[in-house]
A = this chain, B = another copy of it.
Amino acid sequence: MAAMADGKSSEQEIVRDRMTGGEEIDFELIELLFFAYRDFISDPDAILFKKGFGRAHHRVVHFVNRNPGMTVADLLETLRITKQSLARVLKQLIDSGYICQLEGPEDRRQRRLYPTKAGRALALELAKPQSRRIAKAMSGREKDMRETVLGFLGGMRDGGDK
């Protein structure tokens, strides 16, 4: 469990004023990112739930469709999870016929991942409501908005400064 927040009773004093960032911190943007992402994944979540899948399956289906022929190692790198975590959902997707594995053409240890037609269809179905949401958020301002948002989100990534 967590440590007690310091013995000094002053630390326990109640704070009644709203936390605003001032010049310092952009709480508005921080919050908005939380709300936007929460709602953004809610659409596919609902679709997946009906099929007995979860978010983890979504990610796998998405990236395999975006990069057909990627190896398991590639996928692990992209998702940044352990192979044991991946194994569970990947196995379910293979058993259900959404993804299949082919032996690597040069290196036969590799399992190249490809979507089936059903897998491609699923990926598209999941992307559609998300795309609609994005279109709504841009609503007519695509021209000035998309490039800016792309730049911003790219810069938010870990290696995104170059």
Residues of A within 8 A of B (CB): 1-6, 10-19, 21, 24-40, 42, 51-53, 59, 62, 65-69, 80, 92, 95-98, 100, 102, 114-124, 127-128, 130-131, 133-139, 141, 144-146, 148-158, 160-161
Contacts and interface: CB of A to CB of B under 8 A. Distances in A.
Residue in A27, A34, A122, A134 whose Cβ sees the most chain B Cβ within 10 Å = A34
Contact of A69 (B16, B21, B29): B16
25 contacts: A2-B92, A2-B95, A5-B122, A6-B118, A11-B97, A11-B116, A12-B100, A13-B116, A15-B114, A15-B115, A15-B120, A17-B68, A18-B65, A24-B131, A27-B66, A29-B134, A29-B150, A30-B127, A30-B131, A31-B62, A31-B66, A35-B157, A36-B154, A37-B37, A141-B151
